[in-house]
Structure 1
Amino acid sequence: MASSLIRTPPLLFPATARHTATVIFIHGLGDTGYGWADAVENWRRRQRLDEVKFILPHAPSIPITCNMGMKMPGWYDIVRIDGTPESLRTDEDEAGILLSRNYFKGLIQQEIEAGIPAERIVIGGFSQGGAMGLFSGLTANVKLGGIIALSSYLLLSLKFAEFLPKPEMNKVTPIFMGHGDRDQVVNIQLGVKSHDLLKGMGYQPTFKIYPGMGHSACPTEMNDVENFLKERLPALDKKDGKSEL
């Protein structure tokens, strides 16, 4: 699988001011980075994240079992989606998940090598992308600024501890999880279970439910994500690198 993957370079939105922070936001199954371009453009218009560079990766086209084996953009294979809490945890594609995690690890490392401190980098996404962001962030070997998981869940949860680095770098990293209570793709109970499991392992996730929202995002949720990013990646004073807040 690894040798046959064709990856397109991510969609990039440079910081509109001095670049001091980076957000890697990962799309869901069947989408591309362009699917989240409007959200980023809206945040940029509001001028609260001027020092943030946004990276919107594009998933490679891979066979998806629940799509009758036909190829579509995906970060890992999914055997079954039927809206039940357990369906997405059936026969998880561990090899595909780890392959994608390595790709995101590389994107993070590129930003660090470009001079951005790891604690000024946030990773996250929506649905399958949120699951990858959560898994990649929590198993990273650098201390990140934050993790975002929208309409998603914890991957490889039955053996999650096996993938954690020692020492755990992101045990206290803030995690924002958002989910609609009408989600018919990633059942909200799976999101709740993921939150509870992380909480029980000593992590500090925040879980917010959006009434009436299906498997999508809403303006209120996007505002909450923006506020989370603003809190985690505040603008820095140009002279001494300290937060303006």
Structure 2
Amino acid sequence: MSSLVRRPPLVFPAAARHTATVIFVHGLGDTGHGWAPAVENWRMRSKLDEVKFILPNAPQIPITANGGYRMPGWYDIVSIDGSADSLRRSEDEAGILQSQQYMHSLVQSEIDSGIPSDRIVLGGFSQGGAMSLFSGLTAPFQLAGIVALSSYLLLSLKFPQLVPKPEYNKATPIWMGHGDRDNVVNFQLGKRSHDMLKEMGYNVTLKTYPGMAHSACPEELDEVEEFLRSRLPALGDKAQDNGKSEL
């Protein structure tokens, strides 16, 4: 596992002064390019001009549910039968923890380049949303927010033991979106994950999209954009002032 070959992420620089970063993680079988149109649409609307977008690419790994066929994946999946419990059975803990380390390294690189962790949002779709949720809540730094679309909480049976102390993201806003006709990541699994996090005291919201299958709709993407704007407001002149405070 340690010899995984990773393609570099797809990066969209901030249109204005770079003061915030969004790392958005694709799902199984996809690449960072799969979410490029959504990012380009957000950039075109000029509401997130200070945000740099990073779209990571998963390594090619064998997926048991697909007969061992290699495809871009953040962790192996044994079964995808549409039931709420299939994705929780025989979870690939080693693969999940390896991808978690990679997600943390992407955030750390942004921190090292001068972006505070509380100006960074980690989000994704399906496997990517699951990795963002898990990696964000187990991170050793406080994030601005977490987005999890059509996804669920990984390693939920032992999750409390995997969270660091102190819990840096106990109060971090988490935005989950899920279609109630999802036949890949069952809606009930997403709702169960939301309810479990709520019971543990996390600041989590779940938005349900009636009739939506395992996908994202324009309304959902608009609401993600609003969440990003609320968590990463433009700093404008304040960023400039901070940059020359010692002059």
Q: Which residue of 1 aligns with 2:133?
A: 134
In structure 2, relative to structure 1, the CA distance for the partners of 1:239 and 1:146 (3 Å cut) is closer
**Aligned twin of 1:61:** 60
Name the structure 2 match of 1:147: 146
Partners of 1:103 and 1:95 in 2: how far apart? Answer: 13
Q: Which residue of 2 aligns with 1:23?
A: 22
Query: 1:40 aligned to 2:39?
Result: yes
List structure 1 runs of 4+ shifted beyond 6 angstroms.
Answer: none
In the alignment, structure 1 segments of 5+ residues that lack a partner are none
Q: Separation in 1 of the partners of 2:82 and 2:238?
A: 52
1:2 aligns to 2:2 (yes or no): yes
**Which residues in structure 2 correspond to 1:85-124 (within 5 Å)?**
85-124=84-123
Task: List per-residue Cα deviations over 1:203-225 (Å, max 9, x = no partner).
Answer: 01000000111000000000000
Q: Size of the alignment, in residue pairs?
A: 241
C-alpha deviation, 1:2, in angstroms: 1.5
Alignment partner, residue 69 of structure 2: 70
| Corresponding residue SS for 2:103 | helix
Q: CA RMSD in A?
A: 0.9
Q: What is the CA-CA distance between 1:241 and the residue it aligns to?
A: 6.5
Matched, 1:81 2:80: yes
Deviation at 1:239, TM superposition (A): 3.7
Deviations 1:78-125 (A, max 9, x none): 000000000000100000000000001100000000000000000010
Provide the secondary structure at the position in 1 that maps to 2:236.
Answer: coil
Residue 5 of structure 2 aligns to which amino acid in structure 1? I
Residue of structure 2 in register with 1:197 after alignment: 196
Please give the per-residue CA displacement for 1:170-196, whole angstroms capped at 9, x wherever unaligned. Answer: 000000000001100000000000000
Matched residue SS, 1:136: helix
Quote the offset at 1:237 in angstroms: 2.7
1:149-228 superposed matches below 5 A: 149-228=148-227
Name the % identity: 70
The question of whether the paired residues in 1 share the 8 Å contact of 2:19 and 2:239 is answered with no
TM-score by length of 2: 0.96
CA distance in 1: counterparts of 2:109 and 2:72, whole angstroms? 23
Secondary structure class of the residue paired with 2:237:
coil
Q: Contact conserved, 2:111 with 2:117, CA < 8 A, in 1?
A: yes
